[in-house]
Structure 1
Amino acid sequence: MKHALPFLTALAVSAPGIALAHPHIFAEARLEVIAADDGTVQELRNVWRFDEVFSSSVLLDFDTNTDLKLDETELAALGEVMHASLADFDYFTTISVDGTSEKIQKPDVIHVSYEDSQVMVFFAVKPEKATPLKGKLAFGVYDPSMYTAIDFPTDGDLVVQGKAADACQHQVVRPDPDEIIAQNSATLTEAFFDDPSGTDMSKLFATRLELTC
């Protein structure tokens, strides 16, 4: 597995028929921000459903007994690989407070299922340090390498739960790509798109949930 790239990209590179330079992987996501009773961010719960093309490549790679399905052992192996490979990318999950990024802890485990020819991933992450619901907080999910498109189909797929967040105003922000490109045209060069490590610029394109407390 290529540690310079996210796990998802590495799998796509190994799959036949997918371009090496810019794999196209698509996932529909749900993000739940859970507020603790003490007024801090307790955890962020992620659900990702991957497209059938990518899911089929995962099936080929992890179906060790070649029965054309993923059993519990194979799903656990996939979850372990994802747990290790996504660590350097903070599991595509971001938290910022007043514009400053906050680090997250590794999830205890990544759960994976394979239903209707699609891979589904479930896991929760916690902030590395206590993060009070104070100021302007933003939560999002994106791939810094821009190889994986993570989409929230509706605004209802980004939610905050917990009484401590009732006093906060919240909104889902979906940046306009044309505006982002126009505002940053000088830095969006070919070298930017060819950088496998990704850049912070890709965060500008990502859908996010904002809380103002």
Structure 2
Amino acid sequence: MKRLSMIIAAPLALLAGQATAHPHIFAEARLEVVSDDSGMITELRNVWRFDEIFSSSVLMDFDKNTNLKLDPDELAEVGKTVRDSLADFNYYMSVSENGKTIPVAKPDAINVDYKDGQLLMFFSVKPSEPMPLKGKLAFGVYDPTFYTSIDFNSDEDMATVGDGMKACKRAVVRPDPDQVLADNQSTLTDAFFSDPTGTNMSKLFATRLELTC
């Protein structure tokens, strides 16, 4: 198995213990939540830009002709590997409607580019069931294993698209890690640090976009 599928689907790569419950890969992200004219969420558009160390490891693994770059067919192989690897992890998407978790459908493709020493991924996913702009909706991107840190540098990187969004109140929530630890100390100590893959607790730390419509 290539390093990309092992690392980006990190539950197989993590070891038990507190020392491993921290990110090893870093990505800057942009998320666009899109609605149509009928007031339904139609897609979630993602852009991920990975750190140079991880990007260089992907280059080494997928540069089959050793020309020190990723050619179109090699980029396509990276995208296919990620698309297959993240299927079991809902593509790192956290989507909820009035407290109910909404899975996403498998994307048609994950498009990949390699620029200035960094790997970029572009893809769109759709809610697996109808999702109207009604009540409280929340959207985020996070790795449930804590192996990959996906960050939004500014609130504008969590955007809404569509006229229907104008009727919704928008808020970007950035949880305070110290407060999360304080509020969930016993649970995090007993479950999260011993087996982060089985708790989904990293969701508590993730930045999210909340819409109240």
Normalising by structure 2, we get a TM-score of: 0.90
Displacement of 1:35: 0.8
Preserved contact between residue 137 and residue 210 of structure 1 (Cα < 8 Å)? yes
Misfit runs of 4+, over 6 Å: none
2:100 matched residue in structure 1: 100
2:16 matched residue in structure 1: none
Distance in 1 (alpha carbons) for counterparts of 2:95 and 2:56: 31
Residues 42-87 of structure 1 show CA distances to partners (whole Å, capped at 9, x for unaligned) of 1000000000000011011101111110000000000000000000
1:73 matched residue in structure 2: 73
1:53 matched residue in structure 2: 53
Unpaired runs of 5+ residues, structure 2, are: 14-18
Counterpart AA for 1:132 = P
Residues paired across the two proteins, number: 206
Aligned partner of residue 37 in structure 1, secondary structure: coil
Counterpart AA for 2:26 = F
Is the alpha carbon distance of 1:198 and 1:111 closer, same or farther for their aligned partners in structure 2, counting shifts above 3 Å? farther
Counterparts in 2 of 1:82-121, with a 5 A limit? 82-121=82-121
Percent of residue pairs bearing the same amino acid type: 60
Distance in 2 (alpha carbons) for counterparts of 1:70 and 1:129: 36
RMSD: 2.2
Displacement of 1:139: 0.3
Unpaired runs of 5+ residues, structure 1, are: 14-18
Is the alpha carbon distance of 1:21 and 1:176 closer, same or farther for their aligned partners in structure 2, counting shifts above 3 Å? closer
Distance in 1 (alpha carbons) for counterparts of 2:170 and 2:187: 31
Residues 141-192 of structure 1 show CA distances to partners (whole Å, capped at 9, x for unaligned) of 0000000000000001001110011100001000011110000000112652
Preserved contact between residue 46 and residue 124 of structure 2 (Cα < 8 Å)? yes
Counterpart AA for 1:59 = L
Displacement of 1:200: 2.2
Residues 103-160 of structure 1 show CA distances to partners (whole Å, capped at 9, x for unaligned) of 1100000000000000000000000111001000000000000000000000010011
Aligned partner of residue 181 in structure 1, secondary structure: helix
Distance in 1 (alpha carbons) for counterparts of 2:196 and 2:66: 32
Counterparts in 2 of 1:1-213, with a 5 A limit? 1=1, 7-9=7-9, 24-189=24-189, 191-195=191-195, 197-213=197-213
Distance in 2 (alpha carbons) for counterparts of 1:197 and 1:185: 17
Is the alpha carbon distance of 1:84 and 1:7 closer, same or farther for their aligned partners in structure 2, counting shifts above 3 Å? farther
Displacement of 1:6: 6.4
